[in-house]
């Protein structure tokens, strides 16, 4: 009498065959990838071609940036060194692969918040970027790059919302400091060199009449700074700059300043 095959055995055999085929396919893909037979779908970085950028927030405030060599400079609302890493985070949007996104005529721009985007950007002369609303399931933001819409992690709008404090460089001394003199008394140049401000704001009014004069020599060039009490903080301003740096009273004391 013929022995009946267990149906579970047939299922296991079929499953094993499918797994074997799948593993073989993966191995084949890996082999082609290693040997350069698959097309390279990575987006080549063109960040170096972006020489200027403009960001317009929902409140109408505009931030303009220009590249100067390897660094970025704020041009609007003030002239000041920009925080390069943060600016580069926005510039990198030009590298976004939008192939898996949607054409703008395939989605509801009202529902995605892109019919009247709260934040707009222009990267260089050609690339427009609009930030829409948050997709509720993924928590990611709708972003329109030229005529394509993609979902991206929500890391750009919070940065832009930070305004001048987010974009201005908060380390006042990029050039190597040779010496520091406060009212004729030498101070620790290394401490001044490592200073990072709590914030930055436009220098709209003059220097306080109670300001302390600070002479800084950096890479052979003499700079005149002034420090004064600014509310609960201490302001530092270099003659001719359009911004002043805000530091804590504790940091001021470490620098050798007292008020």
State pLDDT tens for residues 233-248.
999 999 999 999 999 9
pLDDT at position 163 over 60: yes
Question: And the tokens for 55?
Answer: 């960001």
For residue 45, give the nearest of 115, 97, 111, 120 by alpha carbon: 97
Query: For residue 205, what pLDDT is reported?
Result: 87
β-bridge mates for residue 230, sequence order? 233
Identify the band that residue 253 occupies on the pLDDT scale cut at 50, 70 and 90.
very high
pLDDT at position 204 over 80: yes
Query: For residue 12, what pLDDT is reported?
Result: 52
Query: For residue 109, what pLDDT is reported?
Result: 95
For residue 150, give the nearest of 198, 104, 191 by alpha carbon: 104
Alpha helix segments (H runs only) across 38-149: 84-91
């Amino acid at each position: 009498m013929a022995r009946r095959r267990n149906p579970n055995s047939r299922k296991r055999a079929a499953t094993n065959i499918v797994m074997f085929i799948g593993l073989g396919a993966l191995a084949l893909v890996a082999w082609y990838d290693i040997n350069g037979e698959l097309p390279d779908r990575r987006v080549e970085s063109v960040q170096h071609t972006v020489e200027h950028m403009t960001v317009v927030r929902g409140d109408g405030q505009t931030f303009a940036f220009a590249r100067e060599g390897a660094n970025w400079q704020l041009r609007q609302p003030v002239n000041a060194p920009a925080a390069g890493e943060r600016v580069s985070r926005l510039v990198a949007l030009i590298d976004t692969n939008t192939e898996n996104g949607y054409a703008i005529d395939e989605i509801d721009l009202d529902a995605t918040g892109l019919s009247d985007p709260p934040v707009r950007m222009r990267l260089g002369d050609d690339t427009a970027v609009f930030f829409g609303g948050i997709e509720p399931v993924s928590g990611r933001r709708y972003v329109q790059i030229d005529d394509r819409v993609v979902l991206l992690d929500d890391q750009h709008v919070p940065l832009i919302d930070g305004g001048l404090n987010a974009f201005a460089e908060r380390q006042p001394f990029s050039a190597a400091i040779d010496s520091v003199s406060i009212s004729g008394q030498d101070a620790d140049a290394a401490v001044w060199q490592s200073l990072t401000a709590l914030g930055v704001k436009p220098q709209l009014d003059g220097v306080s009449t109670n300001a302390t004069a600070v002479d800084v020599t950096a890479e052979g060039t003499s700079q005149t700074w002034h420090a004064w009490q600014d509310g609960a903080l201490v302001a530092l301003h270099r003659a001719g700059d359009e911004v002043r740096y805000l530091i804590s009273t504790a940091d001021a004391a470490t620098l050798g300043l007292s008020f």
